């Protein structure tokens, strides 16, 4: 059956509703007299034949009043049904009132017997709703595709899973058959949710093997990371697409639409269990304080700003030399934190006079130092810039912090500072050594935090792979055995704040980075998640290790061990005490007269003896004989 493209005239719908109501009245009489045309029934008909006109006027009037004819019947919904009930209920009340008036004031007869009116009320609602439901059902059947529906599974049988199911069923453009739910709760196994069977997560592989399933939708709002990884890994193994339902806060006007279902990302796979923070301690530390964040426009700096904003600081000073990114975060903060007081400062941390002016004007009490050059190949080609920003820039900020009596100075370092093999990591290690030395002066607590690669940060491998995949490849991996630790931006920033709160000065905090990830596996998963096949749709190309690049990153050096803190994901690295000779080397290093790359790297190697260059022109400076 094909429905006309144009809707029926509204007057036609009104007349049908009126005829249905009259039919309901007629059936009510038949029910009252057991469907037998007796003399009593005929006598009742003779009494009410003049009442029919009143019925048409009253009933028709209320149908018009509640505009039951204006709704598109094929798309009838709850509001349309409510209007039908209102019109029927009020018209019945009027009929009862008119019946009582006629009985007591006119001729001793009811307009309609009360029992008839009660049955007419129920029947008219059923018939009017049934008419709309039948038309809607016929319409939905008429537009169904003749193609075989795609089988899907929904991961999660809670509220979000149920909402997903209903949204899919309501979307008439989808040709989908929901084969079942899968859930981590063993108690729900073999139960039915609105007629659809619930399977345990452990049954997923069997379901994929025995059925033609095109995709699995992750509908749990906060799934266990290990279980989610199992589900996604199993789906990728069987070439089944994985999608996910976004968080409730992103639903449009609080309602979920199937158009919001999107592909799961590699960041979702690498995420771990949520970090539990000492919120009260952090708030006690940061509330009503003036806080300076250097590198505030960068990935970690901007993430820190957003985290700090939630702890009601007195003022946040955002310092960076990148004009456009600083402008962007300024606009974001105005939108997301309208009550937040903050200042944006464009400044270069290598300009000591400018830094002194900033401290003199704002008088910060806490500093989170995230400004740095971080790209290994670029810094290998530009050692002076790495020296000038990562070492001299840090020295400027640290010295002025000490001068102005800043309470805490938290420096963001990197796992590449551990047994460094490149200029970037080595310069960060020198900065660590200097700030630890300043901590001995006791006026300011200098704290260092180390962690690995950050998912989604500017210039990191994941955005690069995404760009390469989008352009058709090849996806470039330096070495088949190279591995890296990964952490999300919120995770890293949360742990920095926690470490900064617990630090008493002089510590190097290292974070639990979880398991290291093979970059080749990362690339392959991203290709699969994009719906492509390696070797068929896109290639992976090995380009060789870049200058200064390690195969495996470390978080602690061989000469260091750790002690636990009250937070299970934060450890303290115990490092050797800075020797007097190292301090003398630092003082000489801070006063370089020439921008000679080899001189710079040679001096760094003297300060950081464990710095051995890898695949670099500076390898010749290493004493390989010892």
Instruction: Please say whether the beta carbons of 465 and 526 come within 8 A.
Output: yes
Are 334 and 396 in a shared domain? yes
Lowest mean pLDDT among 277-281, 336-340, 398-402, 610-614: 277-281
**CA–CA separation, 418 vs 485, rounded Å?**
13
Are 196 and 324 in a shared domain? no
Sign for the pseudo-dihedral over CA of 77, 82, 87, 88: positive
Are 135 and 163 in a shared domain? no
Are 319 and 336 in a shared domain? yes
Are 194 and 94 in a shared domain? no
Are 295 and 347 in a shared domain? yes
Instruction: Please say whether the beta carbons of 132 and 81 come within 8 A.
Output: yes
Among 219, 241, 264, identify where a domain stops.
264
Are 109 and 207 in a shared domain? no
List the catalytic residues.
Answer: 416
Structure tokens at 408: 């805490």
Mean pLDDT of the 109-138 span: 82
**CA–CA separation, 321 vs 346, rounded Å?**
5
The predicted pLDDT at position 626 comes to 45
Task: Kindly compute the dihedral angle of the four CA atoms of residues 355, 358, 363, 364, in this order, to the nearest 10 degrees.
Answer: -70
Position 2 in a domain: no
Are 470 and 411 in a shared domain? yes
pLDDT digit string (tens) for 264-319?
A: 777 767 666 656 667 888 888 999 999 999 999 998 999 999 999 989 999 999 99
Residue 397: partners with Cβ closer than 8 Å, 6 or more residues away: 294, 349, 355, 367, 369, 371, 409
The predicted pLDDT at position 572 comes to 85
Position 625 in a domain: no
State the CB neighbour count (10 A cutoff) for residue 143.
11
Instruction: Please say whether the beta carbons of 238 and 180 come within 8 A.
Output: no
Residue 625: partners with Cβ closer than 8 Å, 6 or more residues away: none
Are 96 and 206 in a shared domain? no
Position 357 in a domain: yes
Position 355 in a domain: yes
In the chain, the number of structural domains is 3
Which H/E stretch holds residue 366?
strand 366-369
Task: Please give the sequence-ordered ranges of beta strands (E in DSSP) within 413-554, or none if there are none.
Answer: 445-450, 453-455, 475-477, 483-484, 486-488, 508-511, 517-518, 540-542
Provide the CATH number for the domain around residue 605: 3.40.50.720
Lowest mean pLDDT among 276-290, 448-462, 520-534: 448-462
Query: What DSSP assignment string belongs to 45-83?
Result: HHHHTTHHHHHHHHHHHHHHHTTTTTS-GGG--HHHHHH
Lowest mean pLDDT among 212-226, 354-368, 455-469, 490-504: 455-469
**CA–CA separation, 145 vs 364, rounded Å?**
65
Nearest of 111, 211, 239 to residue 152 by alpha carbon: 211
**Residue 536 is part of which domain span?**
279-619
Residue 501: partners with Cβ closer than 8 Å, 6 or more residues away: 278, 281, 282, 285
Q: What is the band of 603 on the pLDDT scale with cuts at 50, 70, 90?
A: very high
Among 143, 159, 178, identify where a domain stops.
143
State the CB neighbour count (10 A cutoff) for residue 201.
21
Maximum separation of any 2 CA atoms in the chain, in Å? 125
Are 132 and 188 in a shared domain? no
Distance between first and last Cα of the chain? 89
Position 269 in a domain: no
Lowest mean pLDDT among 28-37, 191-200, 252-261, 525-534: 252-261
Are 478 and 607 in a shared domain? yes
Are 460 and 546 in a shared domain? yes
The predicted pLDDT at position 625 comes to 43
Mean pLDDT of the residues in the chain? 83
**What are the helix (H) ranges across 144-203?**
159-170
Position 207 in a domain: yes
pTM: 0.69
If 0-12 CB within 10 Å is exposed, 13-18 middle and 19+ buried, where does residue 613 land? Answer: buried
Residue for token pair 């260059």: 613
Model confidence at 32: pLDDT above 90: no
pLDDT digit string (tens) for 162-207?
A: 888 888 877 766 677 888 899 988 888 888 888 889 999 999 989 9
Cis peptide before 199 (omega within 30 of 0): no
Structure tokens at 36: 């037998």
Model confidence at 123: pLDDT above 80: yes
**CA–CA separation, 388 vs 377, rounded Å?**
17
Position 247 in a domain: yes
Among 214, 235, 264, identify where a domain stops.
264
Position 393 in a domain: yes
Q: Percent of the chain having pLDDT more than 70?
A: 86
The predicted pLDDT at position 141 comes to 66
Residue for token pair 């008429």: 142
Give CA separation, 268 vs 184, 227, 545, 618, in Å: 18, 12, 28, 39
Instruction: Please say whether the beta carbons of 513 and 555 come within 8 A.
Output: yes
Residue 61: partners with Cβ closer than 8 Å, 6 or more residues away: 91
**CA–CA separation, 267 vs 399, rounded Å?**
38
């Amino acid at each position: 059956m094909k429905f006309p493209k144009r809707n029926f005239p509204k007057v036609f719908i009104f007349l049908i509703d009126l005829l249905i109501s009259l039919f309901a009245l007629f059936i009510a009489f038949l029910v009252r007299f057991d469907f037998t045309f007796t003399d009593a029934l005929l006598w009742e008909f003779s009494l009410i034949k003049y009442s029919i006109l009143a019925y048409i006027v009253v009933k028709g009037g209320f149908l018009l009043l509640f505009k039951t004819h204006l709704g598109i019947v094929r798309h009838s919904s709850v509001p349309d049904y409510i209007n039908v009930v209102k019109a029927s209920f009020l018209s019945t009340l009027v009929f009862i009132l008119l019946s009582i008036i006629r009985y007591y004031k006119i001729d001793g007869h009811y307009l309609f017997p009360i029992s008839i009116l009660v049955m007419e009320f129920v029947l008219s609602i059923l018939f009017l709703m049934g008419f709309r439901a039948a038309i809607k059902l016929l319409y939905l059947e008429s537009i169904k595709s003749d193609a075989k529906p795609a089988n899907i599974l929904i991961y999660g049988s809670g509220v979000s899973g149920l909402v997903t199911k209903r949204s899919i069923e309501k979307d008439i453009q989808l040709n989908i058959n929901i084969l079942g739910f899968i859930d981590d709760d063993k108690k729900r196994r073999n139960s039915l949710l609105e007629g659809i069977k619930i399977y345990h997560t452990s049954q997923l592989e069997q379901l994929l093997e025995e059925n033609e399933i095109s995709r699995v939708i992750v509908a749990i709002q906060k799934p266990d990371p290990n279980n989610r990884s199992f589900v996604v890994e199993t789906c990728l193994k069987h070439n089944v697409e994985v999608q996910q339902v976004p968080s409730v806060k992103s639903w449009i006007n609080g309602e979920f639409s199937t158009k919001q279902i999107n592909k799961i990302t590699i960041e979702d796979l690498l995420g771990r269990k949520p970090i539990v923070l000492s919120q009260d301690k952090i708030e006690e530390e940061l509330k009503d304080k003036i806080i300076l964040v250097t590198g505030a426009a960068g990935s970690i700096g901007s993430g820190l700003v957003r985290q700090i904003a939630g702890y009601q600081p007195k003022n946040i000073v955002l310092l960076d030399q990148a004009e456009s990114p600083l402008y962007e975060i300024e606009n974001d903060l105005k939108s997301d934190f309208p009550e937040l007081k903050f200042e944006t400062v464009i400044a270069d941390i290598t300009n000591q006079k400018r830094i002194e002016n900033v401290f003199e004007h704002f008088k910060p009490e806490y500093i989170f130092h995230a400004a740095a050059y971080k790209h290994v190949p670029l810094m290998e080609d530009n050692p002076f810039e790495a020296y000038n920003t990562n070492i001299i820039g840090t020295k400027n900020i640290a010295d002025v912090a000490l001068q102005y009596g800043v309470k805490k100075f938290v420096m963001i370092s990197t796992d590449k500072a551990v047994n460094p093999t490149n200029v970037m990591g080595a310069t960060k290690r020198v900065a660590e050594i200097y700030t630890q030395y300043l901590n001995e002066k006791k006026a300011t607590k200098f704290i260092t935090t180390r962690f690995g690669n950050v998912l989604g940060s500017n210039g990191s491998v994941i955005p690069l792979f995404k760009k390469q995949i989008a352009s058709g490849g090849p996806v470039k991996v330096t070495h088949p055995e190279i591995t890296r630790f990964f952490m999300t931006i919120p995770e890293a920033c949360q742990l920095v704040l926690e470490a900064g709160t617990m630090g008493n000065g002089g510590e190097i905090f290292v974070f639990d980075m979880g398991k290291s990830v093979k970059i080749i596996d990362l690339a392959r998963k991203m290709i699969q998640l994009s719906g492509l096949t390696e070797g068929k749709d896109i290639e992976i190309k090995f380009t060789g290790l870049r200058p200064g690049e390690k195969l495996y990153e470390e978080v602690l050096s061989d000469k260091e061990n750790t002690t636990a803190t009250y937070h299970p994901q934060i450890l303290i690295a115990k490092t050797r005490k800075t020797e007097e000779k190292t301090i003398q080397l630092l003082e000489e290093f801070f006063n370089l007269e020439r921008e000679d790359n080899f001189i710079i790297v040679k001096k760094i190697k003297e300060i950081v003896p464990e710095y051995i260059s890898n695949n670099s022109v500076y390898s010749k400076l290493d004493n390989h004989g010892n």
